[in-house]
Structure 1
């Protein structure tokens, strides 16, 4: 599972978002002791919010934290990305 979060929470008050949200996932299988690789594509929509005034999805540019793991309670990898 891959999650996104604003790099600096609370810096964009016009965007009502949770602290972290699911942005993508993949299913892999591995036997005990084996490793597996997963490719998770994060769609543009994961960086967008619904703009009621414009009646359309709107990209929220900025820096985001990206976290990946088996679940939201077991995040093992973190990185940063800028969406503009």
Structure 2
């Protein structure tokens, strides 16, 4: 039968945060019962690099792990690579990224990011092609009217049941889609000229 042989790289201990295992290559093979086969897999050089202003290869002892999946490792070997000695950033010590458990908190992510996350509140004068009709409807009566017309049309087209999950999805993908995306997927029903008019009035 078919089997996908997967090769993973486990980075050196210490240094900048990286995933415990990085998929670096794979090869699909076909075997009959009892057959064995030699497989050659080229490893992606990026698996040995980190981004620090540019891609840099980190010196150290790497483990090459081969298996049927990330949780089903059959072979392991180690290799020492030269490169740059990069130390861990100051925020990493004691953080979620050093000892992952559960999900990272917003504070954990802000530590890695280097600044606080400021929630963007859509407001008059700040709307652009990446805004949504729902954004605009916060301050624009015309946008609220368009949202109402669109929602009604989608409900009618979907059989008249506003509580239908498919109807909810269709409404969200329309009124909560970026305006430029709405122009692209509307097939001419929501032309660019209408988008620009709505933006001009809302701003």
Q: TM-score, normalised by structure 2?
A: 0.36
Q: Which has the higher strand share?
A: 1
Equivalent residue for 1:4, pick from 9, 13, 23: 9
| Deviation >4 Å, runs of 4+ | none
Partners of 2:70 and 2:56 in 1: CA distance: 26
Q: TM-score, normalised by structure 1?
A: 0.82
Report the equivalent of 1:70.
68
Post-superposition shift, 1:67? Answer: 0.6
Partners of 2:34 and 2:73 in 1: CA distance: 19
**Which ranges of structure 1 fall in alignment gaps of 5 or more residues?**
none
The reply to whether residue 33 of structure 1 matches residue 34 of structure 2 is yes
Count of aligned pairs between the two proteins = 77
Give the conservation status (yes or no) of the 8 Å contact 1:49–1:60. Answer: yes
Post-superposition shift, 1:2? Answer: 0.6
The SS at the match of 2:28 is: coil
The structure having more radius of gyration, on CA atoms, is 2
Report the equivalent of 1:46.
47
Report the equivalent of 1:24.
25
The SS at the match of 2:18 is: coil
* Higher RCO (CA 8 Å, separation ≥ 6 residues): 1
Root mean square deviation of aligned Cα: 1.2
The SS at the match of 1:78 is: strand
